[in-house]
Structure 1
């Protein structure tokens, strides 16, 4: 089985996961009760898999789907204001076919970029527990393993994602510096290819990891993260990944 088929199978497996009782209960309750503005929607109400090409050179790692965003539409950062900010920036730097992401069938394409999260279910108050993060890690590890042949850079949105991503990269075969680097907006860390990567004796290629404030409304409304700041990180990461000159 080639990696594209394996990634599609992984996405289907993620969508069927019921490992975290609190998250299962919450995501399904939200899908039943809905928000008034989306009363005519049939909510997805399941774990949300990654989105983007199977040969991505750049990976964007968020936190978790929004209750009335990804949990409604079935696609990462789709149908909420955080996604509006992210996809507008990706479009601005030439990595997306359109500046909006409203539904899973809206025709949006990402160019060399995949979007995922360390927690695939919408959590209450947008706050997964550390235990839920750790339970979900195996999905991210497998996704990284499948992307390994082409992946050259990653942008992690927020400290929670950073804390989840570093051990996942280590498990997937990259060498993470010790002590583990702290999260900061604009942080850049080079992960070398480790010698013990599964299914690849030579190990994965090196990878540049970038930190960026999360595209949450709290950050974007207060100006902690501006569109210019986000574009700068995405542009630098895309250049490191070989997607932009």
Structure 2
């Protein structure tokens, strides 16, 4: 694995050639879009305030890849941010724009893979390579207590980033497992596909955040 010196990749990160070339193509097609590795979304109080880190899979093409903020500009963000606001993990009004004024509260949001992948499907080598940014991202928050992984790929990469074995910490929706010094919660990804097919209902998703809020209040 290539060592990363920073939790955030550079705008022209070359570590995954397929993703680098895909973004380069979209920069030509849509020059007004963000079209770069999407940085972690932080609360205004900074790293020390973060007790909850949410890890998604990767930026959506017309979502975060377009706007430059995780889960901003697609359906998954509508469900995620409304739930965060309802449980006190964000404040303001979500308008699916990075300048909408929405602020996170004690929470940060990142992705297991920072660059948009073709067909929303990163390959194993890309997930492994981008873990060199996930590891220092987790480490940057000195008061982190909970990581919420959205989907099995984010779950597995987070387990590995925390130094655990995937076989010892299997993914299940609503799961809660202590990995190293962090409690890992897991949920099905809040994608339109999962909600349309009934894999994830809004009630199921909300319940995960209800449990996280209760855990952090203990």
TM-score normalised to structure 2 length: 0.89
Distance 1:165 1:42 in 2: 32
Structure 1 segments, 4+ long, off by >6 Å, are none
Deviation at 1:77, TM superposition (A): 0.5
2:26 corresponds to: 30
Structure 1 spans left out of the alignment, 5+ residues: 1-8, 35-40, 171-175, 193-205
Higher relative contact order (CA 8 A, sep 6+): 2
Distance 1:178 1:228 in 2: 27
1:153/1:101 CA distance change after superposition, 3 Å: farther
Among 68, 73, 76, which residue is 1:79 paired with?
73
Distance 1:46 1:65 in 2: 10
Distance 1:100 1:178 in 2: 34
Deviation at 1:207, TM superposition (A): 1.7
CA RMSD of aligned residues (A): 1.8
2:156 corresponds to: 163
Decide whether the 8 Å contact of 2:160 with 2:166 is kept in 1. no
2:32 corresponds to: 42
1:211/1:19 CA distance change after superposition, 3 Å: same
Distance 2:166 2:69 in 1: 34
Decide whether the 8 Å contact of 2:90 with 2:103 is kept in 1. yes
Question: Which has the larger Rg?
Answer: 1
Decide whether the 8 Å contact of 1:60 with 1:157 is kept in 2. yes
3-state secondary structure, aligned to 1:61: strand
Distance 1:178 1:42 in 2: 39
**1:142 partnered with 2:136:** yes
Among 52, 61, 68, which residue is 1:58 paired with?
52
Aligned pair count reads: 209
TM-score normalised to structure 1 length: 0.80
**1:228 partnered with 2:203:** yes
Distance 1:64 1:108 in 2: 21
Residue deviations 1:74-98 (CA, integer Å, cap 9, x gap): 1111111111111111112121113
Decide whether the 8 Å contact of 1:155 with 1:234 is kept in 2. no
